[in-house]
Structure 1
C-alpha cells in the first residue's frame, strides 16, 4: 500500500511541475517580471508548501525532529541534490543583479536559523522576526525587479499580453497537484521508514526532507529541460529562503518547537556549508556548470551515507 502512495505521488508531482512551469512563466511575461523573480517567489514558495504542511503537522504532533529536520534537510537537498542534478542536465547561468539581492538574504536567513537553534528552541519571537524578514524581502524583490523590467522595456515594442486567467488556472492546478503528490509520497515514505525503526530526526532529515523537496526537484529538472535555467536556480534560492523565514517562522509562531541536538551539532553546519558552496559557485563564474553540479551531488551522497551509517 505504501509503495502505491509513492508511485501516485511521483505521478502527481510530475504533472504538477509541468503545469506550474507553464503558468508561472506566462504570468512572469504578462507582468514584465524575470524568470528569476518568478522562480524565487511564486514557484520557489509554491513548491515549498509541502514542507510547510509537514513541519506544522509534525510540530502539533510533538515531533520536533521531523519539524526542524524537514526544513534543514530540505535546504541541504535543494542545493546539493536538486541544484546539482539541474546543473548536470544544463549549466545554470546566474543573473548577477538578482543574485546580489538574493544571496545576502539566503546567507543571513541560514545564519539566523543556526543562531536561533543555539538557544534550544524556535520560539514565537523568532517566528515573528522571520515572517517580518520574509515580507520585507518579498517587497524589496518585487520593487527592484519591476523597476529593472520597466527600464528594459522602454525601447522594446509592446507585445499583446497573454490572457491571465488560463495562466492562473495552470499555476494553481500545478501547485495543488504538487502538494497532493508530496502528501501521498511522504505518507508512503514515513510508513516504510517507521516500519524499519528509523529515528524521527533521521526521518525528518532524509525521507520527509527529500519527499517534500520532490516538487522542487521535479520543477527544477523540468525547468532545465525546457531551457528555463533561471527558473530552476530561482526555485532553489527562493525555496531555501522560504523554508527558513516562512516555514520555520510560521511553525515557531504557531507552535514553538525544540531544536534537536543532533541537528544543532551536525546538520546545521552541512546546511551552512552547502549554502556557502552555492554562493561561491554562483559568484565565481556567474554560472553553475556540470562540474559544480557533479561536486554537489557527490557531497549529498556522502552526507546521506554518513547519516545512514550513524543511524
Structure 2
C-alpha cells in the first residue's frame, strides 16, 4: 500500500507542477508581464513547488526529517543524477562566465543553510533571511538579464492562446494535485520507513527527493533534446538555489524545522556541498567548454556511491 501512495503522490506532483507552470505563465503573459520576469519568478517557483508542498506538509505533520531531507536530497539528485543522466545523453556546452554568479549563489546558499542548522533547528527568523536572499537574487537576475537581450526566456506561445478561464482552471487543478500529491507522497514515505525499519531521513533523501525532482529531470532532458543545452545546466543550478532559499525559507517561516539526525549535518550536508563544488572544475577545467559523457558518468557514479553509503550507513 505504501508503494501505491508513493506512486500516486509522484503522479499528482508531476501533473500539478505542469499545470502550475502552464496556468501561471499563461495568465502572466495575458497580463502583459514580460517572459523574462515570468521565467525567473513564476516558472522557477513552479518547478520547485513539489519540494515546497512536500516540505511544508511534512513539517506540519511532524516529520521534519522528510522536510529537510527532501531539499538536501533533491539538490544532490539534481547534480548527480539529473545533470549526470543529461550529460551522458547530450554533450552540454558550458560558458563559465554565464554561470559564475549563479554558482556562487548556490554555494553561498548551501553554506548558509549548513550554518543555520548547526544549532539543530531551522527557525522562522532564518527562514526570513533565506527568503530575503531569494528576493535579492531575483532582483539581481532581472537587472542582469535586462542588460542582455540574449537572456530572454523562451515560453511556449501556445499557452498564452488559451482562454483566461482555462488557465484559471489549470491553476485550481494544480493546487489540488500538488496538495494531495504531497500528502500521499509523505504518507507513503512514512509507511515505507516503518515497514522496512529505516529512517524517514533516508527515504526522504532518496525516494521523496527523486520524486520531487522529476520536473527538473524532464525540463533538462527536453531542453537538451531541443538544442537548448545550456538551459539544462541553468535549470539545475537555479533549482538548487530555489530549493534552499524558497522551499526551506517558506517552510521554516511557517513552522520551525528541527534537525532530528546528526547525520543531516555530518553526512548529507557535506555531500550536497561536495556536488555543488564539483560543478566548478567540471565546468571550467575538466573538459574545456562542455560537460560531456565522461563528466556525466562521473556525476552519476558519485550519486550511486552516495545512495549506497547512505543506505549502508
Question: What CA distance in whole angstroms lies between the structure 2 residues aligned with 1:109 and 1:263?
Answer: 16
Indicate if the aligned counterparts of 1:44 and 1:237 stay in contact, CA closer than 8 A: no
* Superposed counterparts of 1:115-264, under 5 Å: 115-149=115-149, 164-166=160-162, 169=167, 179=178, 183=182, 187-259=187-259, 260-264=261-265
Question: Which residue is 2:100 aligned to?
Answer: 100
Matches for 1:266-285 after TM superposition, within 5 Å:
266-284=267-285, 285=288
Equivalent-residue separation in structure 1 for 2:25 and 2:113 (angstroms): 31
Q: CA deviation at 1:111?
A: 0.7
Of residues 217-226 and 107-116 in structure 1, the stretch that sits farther from structure 2 once superposed is 217-226
Q: Deviations over 1:16-71 (max 9, x none)?
A: 7888899999999x94759xx94x65444322111111111111122221111111
Per-residue deviation, 1:230: 2.3
SS in structure 2 at match of 1:71: helix
- Which stretch shows the higher mean deviation, 293-302 or 193-202? 193-202
CA contact (8 A) 1:93 1:229 kept: yes
TM-score (norm 2): 0.80
1:240 CA drift (Å):
0.5
- Describe how 1:285-296 pairs up with structure 2 within 5 A: 285-296=288-299
* Correspondent of 1:306 among 285, 306, 309: 309
- CA gap 1:32/1:127 in 2 versus in 1, 3 angstroms: closer
Count of matched residue positions in the alignment of Structure 1 and Structure 2: 298
1:76 matched residue in structure 2: 76
How far the C-alpha of 1:186 sits from its partner, in A, is 5.7
2:106, 2:237 within 8 Å by CA — same for their partners in 1? yes
Separation in 1, partners of 2:239, 2:47: 7
Deviation track 1:273-303 (CA, whole Å, cap 9, x = no partner) reads 0000112212333422111111000001011
Q: Distance in 2 between matches of 1:110 and 1:199?
A: 23
Report if the CA contact (8 A) 1:193-1:207 is conserved. no
Q: Does the Cα contact within 8 Å between 2:73 and 2:205 map onto a contact in 1?
A: yes
Distance 2:58 2:179 in 1: 17
Change (3 A) 1:147 1:172: farther
Distance (Å, rounded) in 2 between the aligned partners of 1:25 and 1:93? 27
Distance 2:24 2:98 in 1: 18
Q: How has the CA–CA distance of structure 1 residues 239 and 287 changed in structure 2, closer, same or farther, with 3 Å as cutoff?
A: same
Task: Measure the CA separation in 2 of the matches of 1:93 and 1:117.
Answer: 35
CA contact (8 A) 2:6 2:189 kept: yes
- Alignment partners' CA distance in 1, 2:90 and 2:227: 8
Q: Which of these residues, 289, 295, 300, is aligned with residue 297 of structure 1? A: 300
Judge conservation of contact 1:21–1:219 (CA < 8 Å) in 2. Answer: no
CA distance in 1, matches of 2:289, 2:177: 30
Does 2:90 correspond to 1:87?
no
Task: Give me the TM-score of the superposition, normalised by structure 1.
Answer: 0.81
Where do 5+ consecutive residues of structure 2 fail to align? Answer: none
| Aligned-partner SS, 2:147 | helix
Write the mapping of 1:22-37 to structure 2, written as runs, cut at 5 A.
Answer: 31=34, 33=36
